[in-house]
Amino acid sequence: MTIMSTLAPQQLCKACSGNPNRQYPGAAKWRDVPGGVNSYRPSYNLAPTVYSPILVSGHHFATAAETQADAQPMHWGLVPSYHKGEPKQFRYSTINARAEGILDKQTYRVPLTKGNRCVVLADGFYEWKRVKNAKQPYFIYFLQRKEIAWDRPEDENGGPTWNGRRLLTMAGIFEVNKTGEYPLYSYTIITVNASKKLSSIHDRMPALLDGDEAVDMWLDTEHVSLEKALSILKPIENVCYHPVTVSVGNVRYQGPECVLHLEEEKPSSAIAQPQTNTLETYFHSKKAKKEEFKTESD
């Protein structure tokens, strides 16, 4: 799984704005990465270990109002607060976390009990469907209010409200590791069983927060208990998808061609061949395994 996130910071903040009756009304406030060493770079193909935009409640920051939502780039791949050393030295891959039994793992239980719930923002995500000996990637996104030209930058209308594409909002967990020179903010995406609509592509999907109410409930750790928040994480059918080029498997392939709607590529062209710099070989070389398939001892 990789994600597409092409909006600039101010566009992202406006896209997160809601009606005045919401728990978090108005546009979100953008916060840069502490220290400015790493930052968010919009891309049509963002892979794990990069920084992508995350939405959190303002109460996590002393200078923000509790009714404010803040957007900040965070490292994809949760690094526990107790980890000592470089992030890449953490031996578990935490790019995603199964909702089932999530409190059984210390890596996720600790930040959840601290109220570190977040929303991962993206235009959509890419997932691969295996067909015999071949793989076909799909771009998956929320049903849009209007026809979207995904391969073009979103126009800024200059108005107070957002009229562009609807962002995909995924439930996540974030953590802050303070062992380095600057605090490291990192996150993981929670996954659930695939919905009926997506089950033909993959057996898992991100825990999508469909609508303002679901987003607000997940962020509102002051009034919504962890038990209640976890109960809303269910498979969502309100999604669309289309096949895209197999080139999205290469982490260096980040242009608008990634998201173009293509006919499913024939197996002869989609059969995975060993390549340099592909997402699959990238993780294989590090011998990484998804957290959801590993058992972690507390």
What would the pLDDT profile of 47-69 be if each residue is shown by its tens digit?
A: 999 999 999 998 888 765 656 88
282/135 Cα distance (integer angstroms): 17
pLDDT at 288: 41
Q: How many helices (H) and strands (E) does the chain have?
A: 6, 13
Phi, psi of 289 (to 5 degrees): -130, 145
With contact defined as beta carbons under 8 Å apart, do 235 and 192 qualify?
yes
In residues, how long is the chain? 298
Point out the residues of the chain with pLDDT beneath 50: 267-298
What does the DSSP 8-state code read for residue 141?
Answer: E
Least Cα distance to 242 among 225, 258, 226 occurs for 258
Strands, E assignment, 106-217: 117-122, 124-131, 134-142, 168-177, 184-193, 204-206
pLDDT at 289: 41
pLDDT at 92: 77
Task: Work out the end-to-end distance of the chain between its first and last CA atoms, rounded to an integer number of angstroms.
Answer: 27
pLDDT at 26: 64
278/74 Cα distance (integer angstroms): 23
How far is the CA of 276 from the CAs of 2, 18, 124, 279, 288, in angstroms? Answer: 17, 43, 25, 9, 17
User: What is the pTM (predicted TM-score) of this model?
Assistant: 0.86
Q: In what order do the strands lie in the sheet with 134-142?
A: 43-46, 2-5, 124-131, 134-142, 239-243
pLDDT at 258: 97
Phi, psi of 129 (to 5 degrees): -105, 130
pLDDT at 279: 42
pLDDT at 28: 86
